[in-house]
Amino acid sequence: MPEAAVWPEVERAERLARGAALKWASGVFCQPEHLERLSQYRKRESQRTASVHARLKSMVQSYLEGVGWGLEQLREARTELKEVSHTLKAAGLESDGNMDCVKSLDRLREVSINHRQLLAAVSNLPRLYSVQSMVLETERLVESRRLLEAHARLMDLEWWQDDILWQLHGAAGTPGSALSSEDQELVVKYFSGVGQLVDALAKELWAVVSSSLALARQNPTPFVSAVRIVEREEALDRALLAERGGSGGSSRPLPPGRPRCWRATFFQVLEEAVSARFRSVSYLHTRGPGLAGHLSALQHGIMTDLATVRHLLEHCVPTHYQLTAAYLRASHHCLHTHLAQVSSWDLESGEIFAVLNWVLHIYNSPDMMGHPELVTDMERSELGPLISSEGLEQLQSKYVQSVQVNGSLNVAPLNLQIPCFSTTAPGLVSSMLEENARVALMIGESLRDQTIQMGLYEMENLLNRFREALIEFGKEHCRDPRNTKNKFCLHYLLASISNCIILKWSAEVLQQQQASRSAGQFSRTPPNPLAALDRAVRRACRLVMDQLLLELQLFLPGLLTRPWLAQGDPTPKLCSILERHLELYGRVRPPCRRRLQEEAQWLMVVEYVRAVMQKKLVCRSGEERMQLAQQMLQDNQLFREVFHILEGSGSDSEVNPLTLLSALADFVRLKDPGMLTLEVSGLAAKYPDISDEHVSVLLDIRGDVSRDIRGAVMDLLEQSAPPLPAGYRPIFTEILVPPSTLAFCLPTAKCA
């Protein structure tokens, strides 16, 4: 047979190789001069061919060696198989020799097994047919919360399963009988729905127990059913343990999942429900002034739940449950944990007082745990203390320390019999520090100086905490400014300013008393209560101004509008608010009295100019410009009448912010636009913080400024830009000009 017929791939490969070589040669030798390198190509291809042949030979040699090794392994395996075959044949011959002895028992074993299986199957056949239907029916009963009926059917299913397992296990009382794994797996698989029913029923039971307080007021029937089921399960557990678990009892094993101990689980679920109900209200508004209300809400909630347990749920359970006592223990434990956490916080005096009063008096009073109906339920000693004695001592110590350095603001400082608003806190603090200094002086001057030094430290700490309290007070007021509880907000702030001034005098007196001693003898940095006083006063003044601005905001939007131009409203209302505030400021001790009056004047001018910069009113004629300027001058006069105290006390008119309103009015009523450059130059000289945006708005309000004049004014501003003089308080810096939007610009795109 020709080689091509045996290996057709060889001929095909040769053709492909020749074609590839021809293609390569035609590409390499496309020019006559390329033939000069023919010998080089021939030599290189010869070397490459020799290399390929060498690799092929090496591969074939390796392959042949592997084949030889494999054949050798096969020969060895064949020899071993022959030996194993001989051994198996000998074992088979020996087994055949013993077969006659075993055959006599095989038939008996088969008959016994078949008889036992058939007997169990025939006797349980009606039950087996109804298992699946009962499982489905029980599932529906559980889903509809017909718990007693579901539990009755579940007990039947469990008894069937246990009985079948026992029948398959062997004759009763036969020692050493065992159930085959196949039979056991068959029964377990067939009754697999029973275990799922147990879990579903338990889930529904504990859901009912968890919501027992709510169910008691609506329909306690599910709770009663749950308790009856728990008692049934407890009785079954006791019976099975007595029958099979005791010494000398039956060798019959306990059913799967027994004992269940559902009564213990009942009380555990009840405690978890109490804890969850407690957590739902325990951490709401527990910090700050709301702590007393929170404790009162806890008292009401606990007593309401106890009344429900005592008068409703207690009649749904057996007497030995002592449900009220169990609820008392759970509530007491939750309160103990919660109050331990509250006591660890950095509480203020009012909060500490609320906790101590609630723990020592309210909790044990007849209104709570000392109630006549609850005293008989359990001994108070069983519950233990709500807060440990160490915790009470720490709370009392913290309360004493807090009272010593914190002033009281529990009453409105509205007393017309005294010339200034204040509270008794500064006097108490000053008296305490002075008394401590006098007592220490009886020992010696050194102790007196150390006592004063520590007193100044405490005063500085007090003032720092007072400033933080002011900040929190301001935040709370901003969150709900219309709250009726803030009725005396301004009075408290003004009283706090007067208190700070009183404390300043006391601090200066104490510093003078110990000025002769060197402060370097103390390890800490010398106290600086005066700086803390200044910070607290600044914060209080800022809050007072915020309160003024809050009331002014109701009427400020009406300024510089068409109705304002026609009728003059709402300037009289603004003046009324200012007069009322200035009258209250007069009840503050100097020098803060004048400071508040000046800040109110400054605030009013800033807000008025801010209303001007809103550009709500643009003049359309010279008459409107004159009317606008006249109305601004009238407002300025009304404001001057309100602030006549400052005007008559030698105030420098050059720094009076009200002069800005008259300057703006002069700017608006200027008849010759060509003089605007000179007018703006005067404004910039007097108010160097005025920007080109502010001037641009003023030019827009006039409504008669040409492009050339506007350009000249802006060039003047750009060239002048004088630096702010020393002591000058910027006013335009606080007033931002709203960005202008051109009518032809799309709202979502920026103008080019």
Question: What gap in Å lies between CA 707 and CA 695, rounded to an integer?
Answer: 14
CA dist 43 and 505 (Å) reads 114
Looking at this protein, which amino acid is placed at residue 309? V
| Percentage of the chain exceeding pLDDT 70 | 72
Residue 590, pLDDT score: 78
* Helix intervals (H) in 219-289: 221-240, 262-282
Q: Is the peptide bond before 722 cis (omega within 30 degrees of 0)?
A: no
- Domain spans in the chain, listed from the N-terminal domain onward: 45-260, 264-402, 425-543, 553-734
How many helical (H) and strand (E) elements, i.e. helices and strands, does the chain have? 28, 0
Q: What is the second-level CATH architecture of the domain 553-734?
A: Orthogonal Bundle (1.10)
Query: Which of 411, 541, 535 lies closest to 466, judged by CA?
Result: 535
Among left, alpha and beta (phi > 0; psi -120 to 50; other), residue 722 is beta
560 Rama sector, left if φ>0, alpha if ψ -120 to 50, beta otherwise: left
In terms of Cβ atoms closer than 10 Å to its own Cβ (0-12, 13-18, 19+), residue 176 is exposed
Dmax (CA) of the chain: 141
* Residue 696 pLDDT: 92
How far CA 698 is from CA of 328, 619, 665, 669, in Å, comes to: 75, 11, 10, 11
pLDDT of residue 518: 45
Q: And the tokens for 11? A: 């001929």
The pLDDT value recorded for residue 415 is 39
pLDDT at 242: 79
Residue 688 burial class via C-beta count within 10 angstroms: exposed 0-12, middle 13-18, buried 19 and up: middle
Report phi then psi at 98, rounded to 5.
-90, -5
536 touches 499 (CB < 8 A): no
- Other CB atoms within 10 Å distance of the CB of residue 97: 9
Q: Which H/E stretch holds residue 85?
A: helix 38-143
Distance CA 470, CA 496 (A): 9
- pLDDT at residue 628, rounded to an integer: 92
Q: Are 354 and 295 in contact (CB under 8 A)?
A: yes
Q: What SS3 state is found at 730?
A: coil
Closest CA to 331 of 275, 269, 264: 275
pLDDT lower than 50: segments of the chain: 1, 3-4, 171-176, 247-249, 400, 403-419, 439, 442-444, 518-523, 648-654, 742-752
pLDDT tens, 454-510? 677 777 787 788 778 877 877 776 666 665 556 677 777 887 787 787 777 777 777
Sign of CA dihedral 207, 212, 216, 221: positive
